[in-house]
Structure 1
Amino acid sequence: MRPIGYYVHHHGAGHWQRAAALAARLRHPCVLLGTAPGVASCPVVELPDDAGGHGTAPGLHYAPIDHAGLRARTARIAGWIAEVRPALMVVDVSVEVAMLARLCSTPVLYVRLAGKRDDPPHLAAFGAARALLAPYPAAIEATDTPSWVRHRTFHAGFLTASSARSRPGKHIAVVFGRGGSGGDREALIAAASAVPERQWNVLGPVSPGASRLPDNLALLGWRDDVVEILAGAAVVVGGGGDGLLAEVAALGKRFICLPEPRPFDEQVAKAERLAELGAAICRTSWPQADSWPALLDEAFALDPTRIAALHDPQALTRAAAFIDDAAQA
């Protein structure tokens, strides 16, 4: 059986976690291709880094001139395709890699992220792909998505391999992912001080500082037990990344979504749809300290069954089966 190649974007940790979880469930052998790869149960091709360049071209997002890293990366991908002859390339995500694979006579399954992606490069990649896979449920699809794009898209749902069970809790869990700028120490101190009756547990990077932390604020940094901390939270506060949304939905936690800046307003689009569905509270920036008591009251008034209804425990299995079927089409 010919293998599936799976290209993984390097921004944040969510792309790699999603790829590794899907690869483990595929019937086909799978090879992950990416920069600074993480842990996976399948073979990995480490790609040269192409960051740091500037420049684009018609139909492309990233095409710097005379960039040695990009040249080597493109050659490595094309060479691997020529040698291995994969049955399918899953691309999560890159317009350029999708078109490169297609030019190498290989069918592409494109992972379509949220946001307003109606620019010519994205539309070209969507049209050239054998199929599109959205790592979120159809319920949070943007209403202005072109009908032909929606028609070609398999909505996999939020993808998480976690089996943690939600439990009652009193603390506020604040999450900052690897793909963003992290939390502001002084803003966190102000928020925790405004709600002293609640313990605030902060996961991820936070700016350094000398100010004394209040007794109800813990800066936990990177932890291996993130999901367990979320499972015991009363309210989760964080961005609109796919990984966090998947865990919050799986746990059915009341959620305050503070979307982080991303290309094509990816996180804003998801946060706005969650708010429209009554599944989360959405704010486009970190709230002022004096607004936190009322904001948390608003969060506690949420019906957690609404965000839980967006979780499909079979999403990874369904997505893997779709990828396998696309490889055999």
Structure 2
Amino acid sequence: MIGYYIHHHGHGHRSRAAAICAHLGIPVTALCSEPVSDPDGVFAETVVLPRDDAAPTAQDPTAFGTLHWVPRLDPGLRRRQAAFAAWIERARPTAIVVDVSVEIALTARLFGIPVVTVAMPGNRTDAAHQLAYRLSDRIIAAWPRAMYEPEWLQPFADRTNYVGGISRFDGRSSSRFRPDEDTVLVLGGSGGSSLTAADLEAYSECEPRFAWEGLGIAGREWVDDPWPALCRAHVVVGHAGQNTVADIAAARRPAVLVAEPRPFDEQRATVSALDHAGLAVALTGWPEAQAWPGLLDRARRSDPGRWDLWGTEGAAARAAAAIEKVAGESSCA
């Protein structure tokens, strides 16, 4: 049995977990603070852990800068740790994948369970992140090493698998969808975005050559499967979250990608890598509406075939193989 901890914020961590676990030959239990939808049946079991923020105020949540979130005397945190420990004793996993929580990684290792940590872009030099990477048996970086190899990850190079961008759409064909030269698709997300439907209307007024469609944006519809719309779009606009980038790469569409504010400058690091590689028009913030005609023209002149450099094809399978290797080695020990 493998445990797979999934951060509850947004849909991205869950989508990535499902894409990876579809390639695992070992049963997987998903552990998360929110119910995990599993329409494809990739998990043998799902466990909802208690939330760790039940106290009205958070007292010393970082333990003097050592960790990220361990608020003193929080009953939710106590219940959460107890539930996780009980599951470990019951399931006796041979490995635990953590995407992402330094505290879950540390707890698992304190129980003697091998840990596979999913790394995130950005500035991860703080004590808590470095602790998680030091104790991990394996680190999965969901981007190509040639595009982005941060200095803080280099000390763990012998334990890091740069698998490429992991997309839930890897393996799906785009050939039956014909791109519409009149459409710009703007992708939002459940992880939070400063973009609104009013922004789309302003952009459309300044760039009327295109029909602006929005998915996952406040004030617009949510679509569970954006693949057809993604493949039909002439240009895709979105934030630089790992799953959004990987999904656009899988569809090989010209793109304008914008860094949204995130902890540790996660998306700024991603747009820097994309800009340096020439894979997309990459911005550090949402532009004024008047800038869109020039930005879209730049995107239309780009070569979408360069998205192959992001390595989405087979990325989830490569991550699964790295996890199985850790689990297999521990079960034979």
Using the alignment, how far apart are the partners of 2:152 and 2:278 within structure 1?
21
Residue 216 of structure 1 corresponds to which residue in structure 2?
none
Residue 28 of structure 2 corresponds to which residue in structure 1?
30
Q: Give the 5 Å matches for 1:62-141.
A: 62-141=69-148
Matched, 1:189 2:201: yes
2:196 touches 2:217 (CA, 8 Å); kept in 1?
Answer: no
Deviations 1:218-270 (A, max 9, x none): x4x20133111011011111111121111111111111111111111111101
Matched, 1:165 2:163: no
What is the TM-score normalised by the length of structure 1?
A: 0.91
Q: Secondary structure at the match of 1:180?
A: coil
Deviations 1:96-140 (A, max 9, x none): 110000111111011111111011111111011111011222133
Residue 323 of structure 1 corresponds to which residue in structure 2?
323
2:36 touches 2:46 (CA, 8 Å); kept in 1?
Answer: no
Using the alignment, how far apart are the partners of 2:308 and 2:203 within structure 1?
27
Deviations 1:184-219 (A, max 9, x none): 233221111111120100011325xxxxxxxxxxx4
Residue 224 of structure 2 corresponds to which residue in structure 1?
224
Deviations 1:131-168 (A, max 9, x none): 10112221332443442133321012111232141632
1:115 touches 1:142 (CA, 8 Å); kept in 2?
Answer: no
Matched, 1:48 2:50: yes
Q: Secondary structure at the match of 1:138?
A: coil
1:50 touches 1:73 (CA, 8 Å); kept in 2?
Answer: yes
Partner amino acid, structure 2, of 1:118: T
Deviations 1:19-51 (A, max 9, x none): 122222211111110022332222101111224
2:147 touches 2:273 (CA, 8 Å); kept in 1?
Answer: yes
Partner amino acid, structure 2, of 1:262: R
Using the alignment, how far apart are the partners of 2:14 and 2:150 within structure 1?
28
Which is worse superposed, 113-122 or 174-183? 174-183
Q: Give the 5 Å matches for 1:121-270.
A: 121-162=128-169, 163-165=172-174, 167-170=178-181, 171-206=183-218, 219=220, 221-270=221-270
Instruction: Note closer, same or farther for the CA distance 1:145–1:35 as it changes in structure 2 (3 Å cut).
Output: same
The answer for unaligned runs of 5 or more in structure 2 is: none
Using the alignment, how far apart are the partners of 2:150 and 2:168 within structure 1?
28
2:106 touches 2:132 (CA, 8 Å); kept in 1?
Answer: yes
Which is worse superposed, 65-74 or 269-278? 65-74
Using the alignment, how far apart are the partners of 1:126 and 1:316 within structure 2?
20
Which is worse superposed, 226-235 or 151-160? 151-160
Count residues with an aligned counterpart.
315
Using the alignment, how far apart are the partners of 1:145 and 1:314 within structure 2?
26
Instruction: Note closer, same or farther for the CA distance 1:146–1:241 as it changes in structure 2 (3 Å cut).
Output: closer
2:197 touches 2:217 (CA, 8 Å); kept in 1?
Answer: no
